Amino acid sequence: MATVSITRRVEFSASHLYHNPAFSPEENRRVFGKCNNPHGHGHNYVLEVTVKGEPDPATGMVLDLKELKDILQKEIMDRMDHRFLNYEVPELSGQIPTCENIATVIWRLLEPRISRGRLARVRLYETPELFVDCYGEGESSANGGGKK
């Protein structure tokens, strides 16, 4: 049976701010620039979640999309949509909520919930010009590896 990937896309809107309390105010401004504005700022994040597997011969599905939709609603939307990520998402507490760190948190929230197939990629767009792909701890599926 062929292995196929299914991707579901959701959008959430949230605010964040980049600030490392171990840095001086000058260092924070130099490293994080306008992302260091103390009141934060927001984005419309676009999240694409890809699950890979063999379709179930009985249903023709890798994973029921309704099930994936419910998982995304409960684990991601309910947690992050219309929230200030630094203060309202405990999984990000103590971390700078960069796209890298948010994608990693999303991977860790979703991976144990996928009941059929396996989580292959989490792609998180902060803007149309910037996105992060997370492949978990395994090798990249983008170009056959080549990790630093």
Partner 1 sequence: MNLHLTRRYEFSASHRLHNPAFTDEENWRTYGKCNHPYGHGHNYVLEVAVSGPVDLATGMIANLTDLDSFVEHEVIEPFDHVYLNENVAAFRERVPTTENVCIEIYNRLRNFPSAKLERVRLEETSLNSFDYSGDSGEKQS
Active site residue 82: yes
d(CA 93, CA 45): 19
136 neighbors 112 (Cβ within 8 angstroms)? no
Q: What is the largest CA-CA distance in the chain?
A: 61
Site membership for partner 1, residue 101 (CB under 8 A):
yes
- At 78, give phi and psi (nearest 5°): -60, -30
Active site residue 16: no
Active site residue 43: no
Q: What tokens appear for 8 in the block?
A: 């579901």
Nearest-approach distance from CB 23 to partner 1, in angstroms? 7
Site membership for partner 1, residue 67 (CB under 8 A):
no
Site membership for partner 1, residue 84 (CB under 8 A):
no
Q: What tokens appear for 3 in the block?
A: 């292995």
* 12/18 with CB nearer partner 1: 18
Nearest-approach distance from CB 135 to partner 1, in angstroms? 4
d(CA 87, CA 42): 14
Site membership for partner 1, residue 49 (CB under 8 A):
no
d(CA 129, CA 125): 8
Site membership for partner 1, residue 4 (CB under 8 A):
no
Site membership for partner 1, residue 133 (CB under 8 A):
yes
Site membership for partner 1, residue 97 (CB under 8 A):
yes
Active site residues: 35, 82, 126
